[in-house]
Amino acid sequence: MLRRNYVLLFFILSILLLSFIPPMAAYPTHHVSFQEAANEIHTFFPYATPNNMILILGDKVSTFDQIAFEVSKTQIEGFQDEPLYLDTSFQNWANLSDDYEYIVLLGSQYTNFLSEEILSNSTFTITEGLDTSTYYFTFGIENTTGRHVIILYNKNELVNAQNHAYERSPLNPFFGPKTVTIIATAASIIFLYLWNVFGSTIIDAISDYSSESLLDRKHKKKKVKRKEVQRFKLNEFIDARELLAIILSAIVFAVALSWTWAEDYAQMPMFILMTFIVVCLVLFIREYTRQYYCYKHAMRAEHLFWPFGAVLTIASTIIGNTFALAAYTLIDETEENKKIYGRINYRISWVLYLFVLISFVINMFYPSLILQMAYVFTIMMLFIDMLPFSPMDGYEVRKYSFPKWLVLYILLAITYIMIFFNFPISIS
């Protein structure tokens, strides 16, 4: 019964997200297999050699797409050993050597500035477009020089939200985009850790302004803590207080992620509404499942809004990368309950990770901003929540089983980096 409800919740989440997928626009292209497109490349590049052909990678192409392209190169005869050059190595199209008669641009106008330049050039004539379900090939000729050009990119770039956090960061004038993202992420992790270590000390220091004696405050604090645990209701469903926490944290993330992913401020209202719905949906399903499991194990738990986490969410976003949680869950303090809670969170995390992978794959074939925001938020939430210190869930999961936590966290870290960071993996 428990597993049946769990699976039902997962499919409800998937169906609701899929309902937001817009119908795909009809491309003026031919739908072919990837091998057929590869054969067409040889027809379009009849006299290509390593000396007159160049492959140029867009600096904003995602790490996942770079890896996918490296794999795809092995399926195209003559491309296997061809090196990649970054578009940032060239100031503009005119800086390309005349020796290159055949040019492949990896990345659309959104991720490769040379693709943007040539597509906006009135001298470039598109001769054909091929759609291979995941990849899109644009064939064309630059009329002034007669160069043959192929623009190759993952089709989801046509409906793809770009991360603009580093561009809007105050650190941008001093560091590169990747460095800004790393600094913002590292700073957030450090602040979360410092809060875990010194948070209670800071609260005690502030309370020194009170007229109560230190001993009285300690006794009072212990009593409040016991009462706080006792007042947790043994609920099977989310109560009004927890629902409010979900809504408040969803608002924080909606504003932060919209500021990061919207192309301009005019798009922010649409992004805020869309992101709010997605975040509310993901958080509601996760917290409902968590509460249901806790109820079955006769555990008291309560999901609470976290003001410090909310402030850190906004601050990290401004610095260059959204990295914090605006809510957390309190549980009974017994060691046995902590182990059970760790096992519960471990299972929930795997289901959410599966949801990330499914959403990511579906988005490759049916690009949707809703799906992109769903897996972007979910993998970010999982990666942060699995940090191995309190109040993150990873603290309990690590205590439940360190090997299981380590394997899960490595997978989450790899996935998070591939989605949020664009590191060139094979550049000459």
Q: For residues 154 and 182, state if they share a domain.
A: no
Local structure of 24: helix, strand or coil: coil
Half-sphere exposure of 405 (CA within 13 A, CB side): 21
Residues 155 and 200 occupy one common structural domain: no
End-of-domain residue from the set 126, 159, 192: 159
The β-bridge partners of 85 are 56
Q: What is d(CA 250, CA 272) in angstroms, rounded to the nearest whole number?
A: 10
Low-confidence ranges of the chain (pLDDT < 50): 1-2, 15, 18-27, 203-231
pLDDT value of residue 5: 53
Rg (CA), the chain: 25
d(CA 257, CA 324): 12
Q: Is residue 215 part of a domain?
A: yes
What is the model's pLDDT at position 13? Answer: 54
Task: Please count the structural domains in the chain.
Answer: 2
Tens of pLDDT along 392-428?
A: 888 889 988 999 999 999 999 989 887 776 655 555 5
Q: In 194-277, at which residue ranges do the beta strands (DSSP E only) sit?
A: none
365-369 long-range Cβ contacts below 8 angstroms, 24+ apart: 365/133, 365/134, 365/155, 366/21, 366/24, 367/24, 367/155, 367/156, 367/157, 367/158, 367/159, 367/160, 368/20, 368/21, 368/22, 368/159, 369/159, 369/161, 369/274
Triad 421, 83, 103: Cα angle to 5°: 100
120 and 236 share one domain = no
Q: Does residue 126 fall inside a structural domain?
A: yes
Task: Assess contact for 282 and 381: CB atoms under 8 A.
Answer: yes
pLDDT of residue 224: 41
| Domain co-membership, 95 together with 147 | yes
pLDDT of residue 22: 43
Strand ranges (E), 122-274: 124-131, 135-142, 147-154
pTM for the predicted model, two decimal places: 0.69
Domain's final residue, options 100, 135, 159 = 159
Do 262 and 271 contact (CB within 8 A), yes or no? Answer: yes
- Domain around 96: 30-159
Note whether 227 and 350 are same-domain residues: yes
Claim to verify: residue 97 and residue 195 sit in the same structural domain:
no
Q: Are 362 and 301 in contact (CB under 8 A)?
A: no
Instruction: Using the 3D structure, point to which of 110, 129, 159 is the last residue of a domain.
Output: 159
Residues 255 and 129 in one domain: no
Residue-wise pLDDT tens digits, 334-368: 667 778 888 989 999 999 999 999 988 887 777 77
In a domain, 20, yes or no: no
